[in-house]
Amino acid sequence: MFFASLAYVDQNHQALVLSPTDKKVEDPDHHPPSAYDFQESLKELTTDIILKTRQILTIIDTLPGVGVSKEEQLLKIENLTRELDELELKKKKTILKKENLVDFVNELILHVSNGIAETRD
């Protein structure tokens, strides 16, 4: 992306003379964008580069880092796997508890509604 941005700037900038004695050489086949369009494109390209840089830095920050051995990484993976298994078991128990409570509430509602129906007969 950085190279593409540099290529865009190189191919589309307006030609300038370096000193008053130099002649401005223009290519008749070159049709650069207007100054406004060129500036807007530069803003877009710089925004894209900044966004990509932030994404890359975020990815780098999540890496284990220098000095972390393969064994330490494997140990961390094992610990995280164990923690995930424990959380999964806790989730299953919680879902089962919720289902039991729903069944209890349904039975309670039926019992109360049957009691109300019997008192009206």
10 Å CB burial of residue 12 (0-12, 13-18, 19+) is middle
pLDDT of residue 84: 97
Q: Which candidate, 64, 19, 10, places its Cα nearest to that of 38?
A: 10
Are 97 and 119 in a shared domain? yes
Are 58 and 89 in a shared domain? no
> Residue 56: CB partners within 8 Å, gap ≥ 6?
none
Q: Half-sphere exposure of 112 toward its Cβ, with a 13 Å CA cutoff? A: 6
Q: Cβ(33)–Cβ(40) under 8 Å?
A: no
Are 54 and 3 in a shared domain? yes
Check pLDDT > 90 for residue 29. no
pLDDT digits (tens, 9 = 90+) for 38-92: 999 999 999 999 999 999 999 888 877 667 888 888 898 999 999 999 999 999 9
Are 57 and 9 in a shared domain? yes
Are 53 and 94 in a shared domain? no
Are 51 and 14 in a shared domain? yes
Q: What is the domain extent for residue 29? A: 1-63
* pTM for the predicted model, two decimal places: 0.47
Are 54 and 10 in a shared domain? yes
pLDDT digits (tens, 9 = 90+) for 94-104: 999 999 999 99
